[in-house]
């Protein structure tokens, strides 16, 4: 679990103390799940803190809000600036940054398309989302809960209500002793984890479910595709069966909070040779270099966070 721990939260244009970041209990988003959000990471680099792929995350946030008919009263540039300000105000590195678009005023009734749209931005310390499995390998199970098709709930949008599905799948996996769940799409093909995309390695090539699997277009997924391609690997985006997963040479999750996490077991099946993940390890190493500013080819992915200037000393009145 990620325990909130920060000083300031940005709410509708101003930074407020953590304890004062409140909304009404009858707010529309709480009751109906109509809100959209992002998960963003900031990492330490030699030049100071930097936010990973900020522009892409803001663009997806705006697109998600558009799908849910929630007009954000700030431009993408203003949102990006607010995220940098929030990160700087808290000074937490590495951090996980959560912008949330919601309707926070009291308003019951499903069809609320005119209520005030608000934006909040928080940042908390980043921890290992999948525990020790993030490094040693995750034990996962195929979830009995399917990923809903996009003609029911749009998968392009990172919406709050979508994650009820992830909650059910994730808690079911936890109670069975697994670290994560793998959801299938409505046709029984691989979709994604509860908060991650999934990749397989077969015969030195990478495979990942495509848009037809009703996945969220992950930004870490996109980063891995580019890194793998730059390393000379072929990447296929296609429908993948459970059998292809169970017989893969390697498999791993990707996500902003999970980063890259190898999958060592699915149910009772061991994935590949125990402890041997050469392709996953190579991509993980390059990804780690990229997020820490140690791979110049990916420097455009990083947005520097300036340190807050120390407050000017108060003038003492002469007596």
Give the catalytic positions in this structure. Answer: 158
CB 40 within 8 Å of CB 115? no
Tell me the C-alpha distance between 188 and 239, whole Å: 10
Which tokens belong to 309?
């200037």
Name every residue whose Cβ is closer than 8 Å to that of residue 65 and which is 6 or more positions away in sequence: 36, 71, 72, 101, 117
Closest by alpha carbon to 144, among 261, 267, 33?
267
CB 181 within 8 Å of CB 172? yes
* Beta strands, E only, 230-311: 235-237, 250-255, 259-266, 269-270, 302-304
CB 251 within 8 Å of CB 197? no
Tell me the C-alpha distance between 222 and 211, whole Å: 13
Q: What angle do the packed helices 76-90 and 54-67 form, to 10 degrees?
A: 120
Q: Residue 307: how many CB atoms within 10 A of its CB?
A: 10
The two beta strands, 40-45 and 180-184, are unpaired
CA 3 to each of CA 96, 124, 198, 293: distance values in angstroms, whole numbers, following the listed order:
11, 8, 26, 27
CA 183 to each of CA 84, 141, 144, 204: distance values in angstroms, whole numbers, following the listed order:
34, 9, 8, 25
CA 271 to each of CA 56, 126, 266, 283: distance values in angstroms, whole numbers, following the listed order:
32, 28, 7, 18
């Amino acid at each position: 679990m990620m325990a909130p721990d920060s000083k300031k939260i940005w709410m509708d244009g101003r930074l407020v103390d953590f304890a004062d970041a409140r909304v009404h209990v009858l707010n529309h988003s709480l009751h109906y799940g109509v809100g959209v959000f992002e998960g963003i990471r900031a990492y330490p680099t030699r030049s100071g803190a930097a936010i990973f792929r900020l522009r892409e995350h803001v663009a997806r946030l705006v697109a998600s809000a558009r799908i849910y008919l929630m007009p954000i009263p700030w431009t993408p540039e203003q949102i990006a600036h607010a995220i940098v300000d929030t990160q700087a105000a808290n000074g937490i590195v590495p951090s996980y940054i959560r912008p949330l678009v919601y309707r926070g005023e009291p308003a019951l009734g499903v069809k609320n398309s005119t209520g005030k749209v608000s934006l909040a931005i928080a940042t908390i310390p980043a921890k290992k989302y999948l525990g020790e499995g993030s490094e040693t390998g995750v034990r996962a199970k195929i979830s009995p809960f399917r990923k809903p098709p996009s003609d029911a709930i749009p998968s392009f949008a990172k919406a709050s209500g979508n994650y009820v599905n992830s909650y059910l799948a994730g808690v079911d996996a936890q109670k069975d002793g697994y670290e994560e769940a793998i959801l299938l799409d409505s046709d029984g093909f691989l979709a994604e984890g509860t908060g991650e995309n999934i990749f397989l390695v077969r015969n030195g090539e990478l495979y990942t479910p495509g848009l037809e699997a009703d996945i969220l277009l992950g930004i870490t997924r996109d980063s891995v595709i580019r890194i793998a391609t730059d390393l000379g690997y072929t990447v296929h985006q296609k429908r993948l069966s459970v059998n292809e997963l169970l017989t893969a040479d390697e498999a791993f999750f990707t996500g902003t909070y999970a980063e890259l996490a190898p999958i060592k077991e699915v149910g009772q099946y061991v994935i590949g040779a125990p402890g041997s993940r050469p392709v996953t390890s190579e991509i993980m190493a390059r990804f780690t270099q990229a997020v820490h500013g140690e791979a110049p080819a990916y420097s455009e992915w990083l947005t520097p966070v300036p340190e807050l200037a120390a407050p000017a000393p108060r003038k003492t009145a002469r007596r």
